[in-house]
Homo-oligomer: A and B are copies of this chain.
Amino acid sequence: MQQGSARRSNRDRTETTRAELISAARELFTEKSYAETGTPEIVAAAGVTRGALYHHFADKQALFAAVVEQEAAAVAREIDRASPPSLSARDALIAGSDAYLTAMRVPGRTRLLLLDGPAVLGRAEMDAIDNRHGNRSLREGLVAAMRTQSMKRLPPEALTALLAAAFDRAALAIEAGASGEDYRAVLTALIEGLSPA
């Protein structure tokens, strides 16, 4: 006979504690910034102690990496949902762009993924994260468009990175109050400019 709360497997404890920590950290990292959020504050919000944090994560940066990874995955899911493979290559790109800009309007996401992420983890690790999630479908879309002759032939790696950078900056500008219309227009112009002559 096991009483419901006092008897929990280690795996269960680990999962919930990690989830609580990541959730609390996500909340604070998006409200404020990585630098302005202290580990005492995080563990208080998560209802554990700093001992638990440093048991499950190597350091504050590792916890941040977990938060970023989770958020990047969430953004990628939202984009995939909005651009099903039934669309043509070009339409999928446009739909994906819109979905990305919409996804990035969730408060704090731009800071987390576009400002603090690169600064804290470095561009190399951010690229690795992006390639595991968001950028992958963008690159596949571009390659597909190039294969159907609806796009100029260019190095996929570089093209993906530079278009993604443009999307990122657009998301930041829109959050800062710029005209979403203007930025969408330029983005589509950049993409359509890549059609073969």
Chain A residues within 8 Å of B, Cβ to Cβ: 33-35, 114-116, 118-120, 122-124, 127, 152, 154-155, 157-159, 161-166, 168-170, 172-173, 176, 178-179, 182-183, 185-187, 189-190, 192-195
Instruction: List 8 A-B pairs, Cβ < 8 Å.
Output: A115-B118, A123-B173, A158-B185, A161-B169, A162-B187, A164-B169, A165-B165, A190-B193
| CB of A108, distance to nearest CB on chain B (Å) | 13
Give A116 to B164 CA distance when docked, in angstroms: 19
Where chain A touches its partner, the secondary structure class is helix
Provided the pairs A161-B169, A193-B194 are in contact, do residues A155 and B115 lie with their beta carbons within 8 angstroms?
Answer: no
Give A169 to B115 CA distance when docked, in angstroms: 13
Provided the pairs A118-B119, A119-B115, A166-B166 are in contact, do residues A173 and B161 lie with their beta carbons within 8 angstroms?
Answer: yes
Contacts of A173 in B (CB 8 A): 123, 158, 161
Contacts of A163 in B (CB 8 A): 166
The answer on a CB contact under 8 Å between B172 and A158 is no
Closest to A183 in B: B158
Contacts of A161 in B (CB 8 A): 169-170, 173, 178, 183
